[in-house]
Amino acid sequence: MGKTMSNAVVAMGANLNQSGLGPKVTLRNAIKALADRGVVIRAESRFFETPCFPPGAGPDYVNAALLIETELPPAQLLAVLHEVEHEFGRERAQRWGMRTLDLDLVCYDDQLLPDPATFDRWLTLPADAQRQEAPEQLILPHPRLQDRAFVLVPMADVAPNWSHPVLGQTVQQMLEALPAEDIAAVTPL
């Protein structure tokens, strides 16, 4: 009997050149690197240009999202994402800093990890604390997903009907709840 396959969404971003190549090329090459590691790419979003977050922290980003299918459990999938980031020169020196490649596991089916109380703590963490603290374990879905147009706009291309297991809203509904100026700042390339 075959292994059970799960669907997940990976948010991609880059705003620094890697080996002389621009962020768009890096994202394309990262998609290939994931596929070479057995990650089944079911859908790719368009590429978008997005203002650096936080504002003024560096060059604008190129963002995208992938709908993938995998038999890897979430923690092992995250390890593969980190391996690919490292291959493309990612250094985890600064939270929300500039980067050659960022691959975030945004959701994995409708799983809530590691548990409701831990998820709720990260979901409700004040903005100033978000800049200082990073979780020591995988939190799913990504606790800032609903706040970020640069994640939701590309995600709407590949999984518009995915429903947040805690908020009970689809990607499209979360996107519609964001300020219009946040959405307008995420422009297709």
Q: What is the CA radius of gyration of the chain?
A: 16
pLDDT interval class at 92 (50, 70, 90): low
pLDDT interval class at 139 (50, 70, 90): very high
- Decide if 135 is inside a domain: yes
Q: What's the whole-number mean pLDDT along residues 36-57?
A: 89
Q: Positive or negative CA dihedral for 119, 85, 37, 29?
A: positive
pLDDT interval class at 91 (50, 70, 90): low
- Decide if 104 is inside a domain: yes
Count of structural domains within the chain:
1
- Decide if 36 is inside a domain: yes
Can you give the pLDDT at residue 95?
A: 44
- Decide if 86 is inside a domain: yes
Can you give the pLDDT at residue 135?
A: 77
- Decide if 1 is inside a domain: no
Beta strands in 54-96, from DSSP E residues, in sequence order: 61-70
Three-state DSSP class for 176? Answer: helix
Tokens of 6: 């799960």
pLDDT exceeds 70 at position 161: yes
pLDDT interval class at 27 (50, 70, 90): very high
CA distance 103 to 82: 7
pLDDT exceeds 70 at position 96: no
Identify the weakest region by mean pLDDT among 35-44, 64-73, 121-130, 161-170: 121-130
CA distance 71 to 142: 20
Which domain range does residue 30 map to? Answer: 6-188
CA distance 140 to 163: 13
Higher pLDDT, 19 or 13: 13
Is the distance from CB of 13 to CB of 150 less than 8 angstroms?
A: yes
Supply angle C-alpha 137, 24, 184, rounded to 5: 80
The tens digit of pLDDT for each residue in 51-69 reads 886 677 778 999 999 999 9
- CATH value at residue 153: 3.30.70.560
pLDDT interval class at 158 (50, 70, 90): very high
Can you give the pLDDT at residue 52?
A: 83
Block residue for tokens 């080996």: 19
pTM: 0.91
Is the distance from CB of 104 to CB of 92 less than 8 angstroms?
A: no
DSSP letters of 120-151? Answer: HHHHT--HHHHHH---SS--BS-TTGGG-HHH
